[in-house]
Copies of this chain bind each other. A is one copy, B any other.
Amino acid sequence: MGGKAVGPGWVLTVDLPPPSLNNNTADADRLADALKQALPADAVCMDLPLIRALPQKLRKHHFRVRCVVFKGLNETVLTAVLDPEDPMPVAGLALDIGTTTIFMRLVDLEAQTLLREIAFSNPQGRIGPDVLTRILYAETDEGLFELNRLLMETLNRHINDLCAQCGIETHRIFLVSVAGNTAMTHLFLGLCPRHLIREPYIPAVNRIPLLFAGNLGLGLHPETRVYVFPNIGSYFGGDLFAGIFFSGLHEKDSLSLLVDVGTNAEVVLGTREWLMACAGAAGPALEGGVTRMGMPAGPGVIDKVTIDSKARRVSVRTIGNHPPKGICGSGLIDLAAQLFRAGMIDIQGKWIPAACGKRLVEQDGEWRFVLVPARETAGGGDLTLTQADLDSLMRSKAAMYTILETLTRAAGVSFEEIDAFYVAGTFGSVIDPESAITLGMLPDLPRDRFHVLGNSAIGGAVRVLFSREGTGRVAAIRDRTTYLELNVNPDFMNRFSAAKFIPHTDISRFPSVTIPSSPHPLASAPPEGAS
């Protein structure tokens, strides 16, 4: 019995001993037994269509086959039995379904390489840009159906494109992993999200079973298995568990913290022994949802800003060095930090007109800072920042810091004890911790403790497609994560108020941040007409 089975991750090539009178178990049982031994697994399940095709396949390939397996909540399943000599890649698809942007990576499950990736706007944005609008829209069956259909159609179109670009057919995708926040996960699964926003904020499901692509409306082989990362509640979803798994935080002896910066700030703190998480609204400023020039990272989007403190000359860097068309979250953080360092905004984040000079112009009855003049932009209009934009950013950064402070205090640890500080988020290309610390958004720790992960959710989604331990690890992470409810924390509002200064009312917390010398008192008065 037994046989040999070799291969990385979820793709194994199995050599079965051919049946004989002395070894005459059934085809399906023979294959399941060999896989159980090789993986190892307590049991390997397979579905009826696969069993129906098995006798012929095994004999055609002389009892040597390439198997694609996967593991859900409890069971290990055999999802495909393939010709061992077929040169076409055995593909997998990783999805990060963000409220604003969806990331998709097509990977080779056997070579464990990226084939191609793409990012595109979540089409549900047409119904409503934010989660709340969509949840309210999904309260009727028709609304839920429409949101789900919009998503599936767009996913299917991009899956087709991605496969066509790689020269493979969509039925070569055998495994799919999906990371999304709790609301996006519900809309992807066609689950009514209405109770997510009503006390006591109950998801339909936290631990999601392994699903069939055919039951979800995905245009893949109907037997393709779809793994969806679990939630822990309405505000801590699969994208975070994917991120934790990607960071490796759950495997470390020393204390680590992972913060996912976006419209919601989600934070997890812990070691291999314990994990504590919380999440809170940080406002849309960091995802380009408020500033007129804000947008997700992409070609032509400003992701870095430098202002020299003496001449106050402003220079910007764009993704791909295209003419600038907008600014992403990390660019905005850079911009605000640079404005502060150059003495152009004060500790409350208010313009200092004297320092801003001609860049501060009046337009439509409000003062705007011209970051890039019209003649240099892609769209032909000024790229500007208003006081309202700055105020919004100040609230976001204060919320972020307060969430970090509240979680660490609740866990009984200080920022200084955090050995590794992972910063994730799709709000920008790469956040600069220096700028975030200058603003007082992240704590003032030695810079080498910061690790910028970028989109950790899609990273984790890819990793579960490559690692045999992945889905089990994620389940274990979920089950030992303690979720801290911020709504019920009485100190939260006081901390938030104290954090609404640059870097903080208590500047002793930010010893490495230089506070620019106070400008002439008159210069800090707002120009006439500014709100």
Enumerate chain A interface residues (CB-CB to B < 8 A): 19-21, 23-29, 32, 42-43, 45-49, 51-52, 54-56, 73-75, 189-192, 194-195, 199-207, 209, 211, 215-216, 231, 233, 485, 488
**Can you give 8 contacting A-B residue pairs, CB < 8 Å?**
A27-B203, A28-B204, A48-B211, A51-B191, A51-B204, A51-B205, A52-B204, A55-B195
Residues of chain B contacted by A201 (CB below 8 angstroms): 21, 24
Contact B204 A55 (CB under 8 A): yes
Cα–Cα distance between A205 and B21 once the two chains are bound (Å): 16
Cα–Cα distance between A447 and B528 once the two chains are bound (Å): 114
Residues of chain B contacted by A200 (CB below 8 angstroms): 19-21, 23-24
Contact A205 B74 (CB under 8 A): no
Residues of chain B contacted by A488 (CB below 8 angstroms): 21
Cα–Cα distance between A201 and B22 once the two chains are bound (Å): 11
Contact A47 B195 (CB under 8 A): no
Contact A204 B26 (CB under 8 A): yes
Other than A21-B485, A29-B205, A52-B190, give 9 A-B pairs with Cβ distance below 8 A: A19-B200, A21-B201, A26-B203, A27-B202, A27-B203, A45-B75, A51-B189, A55-B194, A74-B74
Contact B43 A73 (CB under 8 A): yes
Residues of chain B contacted by A29 (CB below 8 angstroms): 205-207
Contact A215 B48 (CB under 8 A): yes
Query: Which residue of the partner chain B has the closest CB to A190?
Result: B52
Shortest Cβ distance from residue A512 to the other chain B in the assembled complex, whole angstroms: 39
Residues of chain B contacted by A74 (CB below 8 angstroms): 42-43, 45, 74-75
Query: Which residue of the partner chain B has the closest CB to A24?
Result: B200
Cα–Cα distance between A54 and B202 once the two chains are bound (Å): 12
Query: Which residue of the partner chain B has the closest CB to A182?
Result: B26
Cα–Cα distance between A203 and B27 once the two chains are bound (Å): 7
Cα–Cα distance between A207 and B28 once the two chains are bound (Å): 8
Residues of chain B contacted by A203 (CB below 8 angstroms): 26-27
Cα–Cα distance between A190 and B53 once the two chains are bound (Å): 10
Partner of A206, one of B25, B194, B202: B25
Contact A209 B26 (CB under 8 A): no
Given A21-B200, A43-B73, A199-B21, is A26 in contact with B206 using a C-beta cutoff of 8 Å?
Answer: yes
Residues of chain B contacted by A46 (CB below 8 angstroms): 209
Query: Which residue of the partner chain B has the closest CB to A54?
Result: B204
Partner of A24, one of B27, B56, B233: B233
